[in-house]
Amino acid sequence: MKKTETFWKALNSPLIVVVVALLLLAVLSVLTFKYSVSIMAKETIGAVRGAFNAFGQDDHDEDREFLKIRDGIVFTNVQKGYSGWPSREKFIGTVTNNSDKILKQIMVIASFYNANNELIDVSTQWLSDMTVLPPKESFNFIIQRDIGNHQDNEEVLNLRSAARVDIKIGSVEMFEEEKANSE
């Protein structure tokens, strides 16, 4: 019995209790640190992934919105108009907003074709005279194109002249009522 009592006395001594407590504290600290680092790494990765997903999602949302709006914008009465300058062509037409959004800016892609229906030029232009185009309203526009300079002869200018133009939407900026009301 004496050996058992001596063992328990030694085990209950303050020095042993402190050493065991320090060892347990060290083990718990390491485990807690590893767990904390693991949680922090998971949270950081999740936040970074979320930021990248949100960044890409905004672009996808804008693309979807653009596709919906694009299908609601219609060009009619597009024809060649009088320019007044021999080296410049002017096409006129009407754009109608059949979408449910107020449009602030419209950029068009104009594809010009000669009399043989061959593509001879492409340009992008903002319909700059338009400030806003509410839903179900129309706007008459002008697209101009240089086909040479004032020194070119009539034959050269005729070769560069477009017989028709096809117009498609390149970009649209919407009027954002929330921003307008907050300013």
Q: Are 113 and 162 in contact (CB under 8 A)?
A: yes
* Rounded CA separation 152/146 (Å): 12
Looking at residue 179, its pLDDT comes to 46
* Rounded CA separation 108/168 (Å): 6
Residues of the chain with pLDDT under 70: 1, 7-17, 24, 27-28, 30-31, 33-37, 41, 46-60, 177-183
92-130 per-position pLDDT tens digit: 999 999 999 899 888 999 999 999 999 999 999 998 788
CA distances from 5 to 2, 91, 105 (A): 5, 109, 93
Looking at residue 165, its pLDDT comes to 93
Looking at residue 111, its pLDDT comes to 94
Looking at residue 82, its pLDDT comes to 87
* Rounded CA separation 82/61 (Å): 41
Looking at residue 122, its pLDDT comes to 94
Three-state DSSP at 170 gives: strand
Mean pLDDT of the chain: 79
Looking at residue 138, its pLDDT comes to 94
Looking at residue 8, its pLDDT comes to 64
**Structure pTM?**
0.61
